[in-house]
A and B are shown apart, each in its own frame.
Chain A
Amino acid sequence: MALAKRIIPCLDVDAGRVVKGVNFVGIRDAGDPVEIAKRYNQQGADEITFLDITASHEGRDTTVEMVERIAGEVFIPLTVGGGIRSCDDIRTMLNAGADKVSINTAAVTDPEFVREATERFGSQCIVVAIDAKRVSAEDEAPRWEIFTHGGRRPTGLDAVEWARKMVEYGAGELLLTSMDRDGTKAGFDLGVTRAISDAVSVPVIASGGVGNLAHLVEGVTRGGADAVLAASIFHFGEYSIPEAKHFMAEHGIEMRL
């Protein structure tokens, strides 16, 4: 009867190629994002997120072409993140066929940019990415802070306060990554996921740390997430999207099967 929780595979893209390996551990160039996106779409992924990790301008143009090609063939929502710093960047990605853009560092350096972007393009296409790290000691009340530059640079901003502020500024959705858990396969940081999900009115996507299907279930049932994002468990073929969806559905979660 209800809205389904979403599974979102995430692809890291450098100069128009998926990196980090898909199915073949250790192979850096893992293939054509269009083919991979089509495969995830056929498997029933609810959305696809691309993280553009390209540094050069030429590489960025290649990414734009890639988004255009995918948008011509994959008819589920596409989010593009990484290096979105201006309204021009947003317009370029939306015109190429992205449905949403995810803003990370630029939101921290200039929160007004989020307001400007949501006023211009609508909240529905502005996702704010939040990279949070636990800063409290074990015996203290839990507290998380925002970090930038891949978790290396602390900002002094409280993650829950920051999430509230970004929603006030118009963010339509939050992509929450735990820097402590990212890449560990130890599961989501359920504490920060729950704290932020309870603090805001908009959907929260949990990310960082998924190692098995039970983690996806916990992200929703204990973390209160509306969507779960994962990369390696799907890329390396440990689990397929239908397996993940059925597992979640068997645990009482509403899914699009």
Chain B
Amino acid sequence: MTIAVIDYGMGNLHSVAKALEHVTQENVIITRDARCIRGATRLVLPGQGAIRDCMGELERSQVKGLVQELLAEADKPLLGICVGQQMLLDESEENGGVACLGHLPGRVRRFPADMHDAQGERLKVPHMGWNRVDQHHEHPLWAGIESGERFYFVHSYYVDAAEDDTVFGTTDYGSVKAHVAIGRGPVFAVQFHPEKSASAGLRLLENFVTWEP
């Protein structure tokens, strides 16, 4: 029983691995080795930074084809986090338009520049900090987590999924309702950082490591 955190050279994977180790006795590895990834029982696809760089590194590290194959086979649970969520969509507006993995229909859009809160304060982009996640459909990964619970976010682009039945959680920021938890079959992906979201985040990770889709 091994959980593989896919390492294609982008971002800080240690936080994710450490949080997983905190909630499971299973072996957690950070790897880009195709055999290890294929042999794992569960996969975590993280991502930080610009999506062009993430997609580029995924290709360069020769993990892209493998991830696409595994997504198509759909026989092991996969958790996408942050840009790891965004990469599952068709395309992103970031960096002048970047084609993504196309596993779930929809686009990644930029928050509008001029949003204000109820007090008239300008809303900052990136959307950084703790915001509420409203559960849109039931899902095993929400077990023990209340709708409206706060999770930690840091992002300037958000997912706009095309099909309602793939949307499991939404977050309001200004005029935007971002699809911050999406999924289908054994795939679940979140915009927020469960590994940095205190007890609610750890509960979601615990739900993931015990999930039998």
Whether a CB of chain B sits under 8 angstroms from the CB of A71 is yes
Q: Given A1-B172, A76-B198, A122-B50, is A227 in contact with B129 using a C-beta cutoff of 8 Å?
A: yes
- Using Cβ atoms and an 8 Å threshold, which residues of chain B touch A122? 11, 48-50
Contact-residue size bin, chain B (C-beta under 8 Å from the other chain):
35 or more
Q: Given A6-B129, A75-B19, is A201 in contact with B113 using a C-beta cutoff of 8 Å?
A: yes
Asked if B48 and A125 make an inter-chain contact with CB atoms under 8 angstroms apart, the answer reads yes
Whether a CB of chain A sits under 8 angstroms from the CB of B127 is yes
Asked if B125 and A201 make an inter-chain contact with CB atoms under 8 angstroms apart, the answer reads yes
Name which residue of chain A comes closest to B118, CB basis. A2
Q: Given A71-B18, A75-B19, A97-B14, is A202 in contact with B126 using a C-beta cutoff of 8 Å?
A: yes
Asked if A203 and B128 make an inter-chain contact with CB atoms under 8 angstroms apart, the answer reads yes
Asked if B154 and A75 make an inter-chain contact with CB atoms under 8 angstroms apart, the answer reads no
- Using Cβ atoms and an 8 Å threshold, which residues of chain A touch B50? 122
Q: Given A71-B14, A125-B48, is A4 in contact with B121 using a C-beta cutoff of 8 Å?
A: no
Whether a CB of chain B sits under 8 angstroms from the CB of A109 is no
- Using Cβ atoms and an 8 Å threshold, which residues of chain A touch B8? none
| Contact among A72, A121, A124 with B22 in the assembled complex (CB-CB below 8 Å) | A72
| Contact among B15, B129, B197, B198 with A226 in the assembled complex (CB-CB below 8 Å) | B129
- Using Cβ atoms and an 8 Å threshold, which residues of chain B touch A203? 124, 126, 128-129
- The interface centre, meaning the residue of B15, B129, B173 with most chain A CB atoms within 10 A of its CB, is B129
Whether a CB of chain A sits under 8 angstroms from the CB of B201 is yes
Whether a CB of chain B sits under 8 angstroms from the CB of A46 is yes
Contact-residue size bin, chain A (C-beta under 8 Å from the other chain):
35 or more
Whether a CB of chain A sits under 8 angstroms from the CB of B152 is yes
| Contact among B12, B18, B19 with A125 in the assembled complex (CB-CB below 8 Å) | B12
Whether a CB of chain A sits under 8 angstroms from the CB of B202 is yes
Complex CA distance for A226 and B129, rounded to whole angstroms: 9
Whether a CB of chain B sits under 8 angstroms from the CB of A123 is yes
Map CB proximity to B onto A112-134 as digits: 1 under 8 Å, 0 otherwise.
Answer: 00000000011111000000000
Asked if B12 and A4 make an inter-chain contact with CB atoms under 8 angstroms apart, the answer reads no
Whether a CB of chain B sits under 8 angstroms from the CB of A82 is no
Name which residue of chain B comes closest to A71, CB basis. B18
Whether a CB of chain B sits under 8 angstroms from the CB of A99 is yes
The 3 closest A-B pairs by CB, nearest first: A122-B49, A256-B130, A4-B130
Sample (6) of A-B pairs whose CB atoms are under 8 Å apart? A2-B131, A3-B153, A71-B15, A71-B18, A124-B128, A203-B129
Q: A residues bordering B, Cβ < 8 Å?
A: 1-6, 41, 46, 71-73, 75-77, 94-99, 121-125, 172-173, 198, 201-203, 224, 226-227, 256
Q: A3-B123, A72-B21 are in contact. List 18 more A-B contacts (CB 8 A).
A: A2-B172, A5-B129, A71-B14, A73-B22, A75-B196, A75-B197, A95-B12, A99-B12, A99-B15, A121-B49, A123-B49, A124-B128, A201-B113, A202-B124, A202-B126, A202-B128, A226-B124, A256-B150
